[in-house]
């Protein structure tokens, strides 16, 4: 699995990685359980005593979790499984004025997950103990977006810090979610293959002819960080570009798009019109759900520049990724090589995958 640190020498992940149910299962435990995954936006629990049940990664890691906002307006994330006999505690989003109560035997918890009471406990020894509290998970917030992890092995700031420095000047918290411009796609390919494709602009002139008209291929570049990276899309003359503040390190440049990837499976794509948030959800070793969520800043710019026609770009990506999934299943394919100029993001991604899969579980 080891990927050489020198991109000029390195070879890609072996084709069997994308076709192996065993590697897929290893990724579930060694990679995704250790990663930060996006829950949604902060208005999922808008008011004190609100609760929102969810799965850590729906369809993949179906760990039942509960997001709450307590009386002190503190966000909490915890197990949604009763510590008595394992009943699911909260089935639907709701307001929990009386705290969390199990419908099976009446055990009660506070909105912080701490055990409060249970009927018929006379005679029990060493009760209650810490085991009777709901297991708590960290919940982190960047702008309006909430994240959690089952077993985080990376600092959250290492994930979002560089993005905050670069684009934090935008009023992202005020971007408006547009359900009509949001989509879900099923892609018949491995989740990592979809990310590989995202992480390089090498294919744009060949696959995305309309996008290529909006972006300056020669000005396209990648910046690699610890657990994230940025692809900077420079707009061609006459195409839509950001009106950047003087405080921006890109001031004076014609930036058409900021493409941020957060390890392992989240993409924040910023355009002059707003944000396209892409969440990549593995389902099987050769099947992936791709969730597109649109948050609009300026509707007057939505049909211009690199951020236009996103549905077409997605369908073009889907077609090529599915074709590559077939190709890497070939007995005659082994590994490829990286373009040092155009595939730095793919090389970085593969190195992180290899590092996580080679690191023993605690």
pLDDT tens for residues 43-58?
Answer: 999 999 999 999 999 9
Cis peptide before 128 (omega within 30 of 0): yes
Q: Where are the domains of the chain?
A: 37-141, 158-358
In DSSP terms, which residues pair with 94 in a beta bridge?
51
Burial profile 163-202: b = 16 or more Cβ within 10 angstroms, e = fewer? beebbeebebeebebeeebeeebebebbbbbbbbbbbbbb
Percent of the chain with pLDDT over 90: 95
Which tokens is 270 given?
A: 């910023």
Pairing mode of beta strands 145-148, 37-41 = antiparallel
pLDDT digits (tens, 9 = 90+) for 113-172: 999 999 999 999 999 999 999 999 999 999 999 999 999 999 999 999 999 999 999 999
Per-residue pLDDT tens digits for 164-209: 999 999 999 999 999 999 999 999 999 999 999 999 999 999 999 9
Strand 136-137 versus strand 255-262 pairing type? unpaired
Mean pLDDT, rounded, for 355-359: 93
- What's the mean pLDDT in 297-309? 92
Q: What are the tens digits of pLDDT across the range 60-92?
A: 999 999 999 999 999 999 999 999 999 999 999
Reading the block at residue 178, the tokens are 């547009």
Note the pLDDT of residue 344: 96
290 has a pLDDT exceeding 90: yes
Which among 254, 277, 276 is positioned nearest to 265, based on CA atoms? 277
Superfamily classification of domain 37-141: Rieske [2Fe-2S] iron-sulphur domain (2.102.10.10)
**What pLDDT shows up at residue 144?**
97
pLDDT at 1 over 90: no
| Interval 318-355: pLDDT, tens | 999 999 999 999 999 999 999 999 999 999 999 999 99
Per-state percent for the chain, helix, strand, coil, to nearest 5: 25, 30, 40
Helices (H) and strands (E) in the chain, counts: 7, 18
Which pTM does this prediction carry?
0.95
Task: Check if the beta carbon of residue 240 is closer than 8 Å to that of residue 301.
Answer: yes
Q: What is the mean pLDDT of residues 236-256?
A: 94
Rounded distance, CA 69 to CA 73, Å? 6
- The CATH label, of 3.40.30.10, 3.40.50.620, 3.90.380.10, 3.40.250.10, for the domain at 158-358 is 3.90.380.10
Determine the Cα–Cα distance for residues 142 and 268; give it in Å rounded to an integer.
Answer: 12
pLDDT for residue 257: 96
Percent of the chain's residues with pLDDT above 70: 100
Mean pLDDT within 6-27: 95
> What's 31's DSSP letter?
I
pLDDT-derived band of residue 361, with 50, 70 and 90 as boundaries?
confident
In the beta sheet, which residues pair with residue 76? 68
Output the pLDDT for position 309: 86
Mean pLDDT score, 11-26? 95
The C-alpha atoms of residue 180 and residue 161 are separated, in whole angstroms, by: 30
CA 48/CA 52 separation, integer angstroms:
12
Q: Which residue has 């061609």 as its token pair?
A: 236
Q: Half-sphere exposure of 347 toward its Cβ, with a 13 Å CA cutoff?
A: 20
**Positive or negative: CA dihedral 73, 32, 157, 194:** negative
Q: Which of 356, 166, 165, 198 is nearest to 277 (CA)?
A: 198
Give the pLDDT band of residue 362 (cuts 50, 70, 90).
confident
pLDDT at 212 exceeding the cut of 80 = yes
């Amino acid at each position: 699995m080891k990927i050489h640190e020198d991109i000029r020498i390195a070879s890609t992940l072996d084709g069997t990685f994308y076709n192996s149910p065993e590697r897929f299962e290893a990724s579930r435990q060694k990679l995704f359980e250790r990663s930060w995954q996006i829950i949604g936006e902060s208005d999922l629990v808008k008011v004190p005593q609100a609760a929102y049940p969810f799965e850590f990664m729906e369809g993949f890691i179906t760990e039942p979790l509960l997001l709450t906002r307590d009386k002190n307006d503190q966000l909490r994330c915890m197990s949604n499984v009763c510590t008595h006999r394992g009943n699911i505690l909260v089935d639907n989003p709701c307001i929990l004025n009386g705290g969390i109560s199990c419908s099976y035997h009446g055990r009660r918890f506070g909105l912080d997950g701490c055990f409060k009471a249970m009927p018929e406990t006379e005679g029990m020894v060493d009760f209650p103990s810490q085991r009777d509290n709901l297991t708590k998970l960290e919940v982190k917030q960047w702008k309006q977006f909430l994240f959690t992890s089952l077993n985080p092995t990376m600092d959250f700031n290492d994930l979002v810090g560089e993005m905050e420095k670069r684009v934090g000047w935008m009023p992202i918290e005020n971007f408006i979610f547009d359900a009509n411009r949001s989509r879900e796609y099923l892609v018949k390919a491995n989740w990592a293959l979809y990310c590989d494709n995202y992480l390089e602009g090498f294919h744009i002139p060949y696959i995305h002819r309309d996008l290529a008209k909006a972006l300056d291929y020669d000005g396209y570049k990648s910046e690699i960080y610890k657990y994230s990276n940025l692809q900077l899309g420079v707009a061609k003359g006459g195409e839509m570009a950001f009106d950047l503040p003087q405080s921006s390190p890109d001031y004076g440049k014609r930036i058409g798009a900021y493409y941020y990837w957060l390890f392992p499976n989240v993409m924040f794509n910023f355009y002059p019109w707003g944000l396209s948030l892409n969440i990549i959800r593995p389902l099987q070793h050769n099947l992936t759900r791709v969730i597109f969520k649109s948050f609009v800043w300026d509707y007057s710019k939505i049909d211009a520049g690199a951020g236009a026609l996103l549905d077409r770009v997605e369908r073009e990506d889907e077609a090529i990724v599915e074709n590559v999934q077939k190709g890497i299943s070939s007995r005659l394919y082994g590994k490829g090589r990286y373009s040092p100029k155009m595939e730095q993001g793919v090389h970085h991604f593969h190195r992180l995958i290899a590092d996580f899969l080679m690191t023993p579980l605690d």
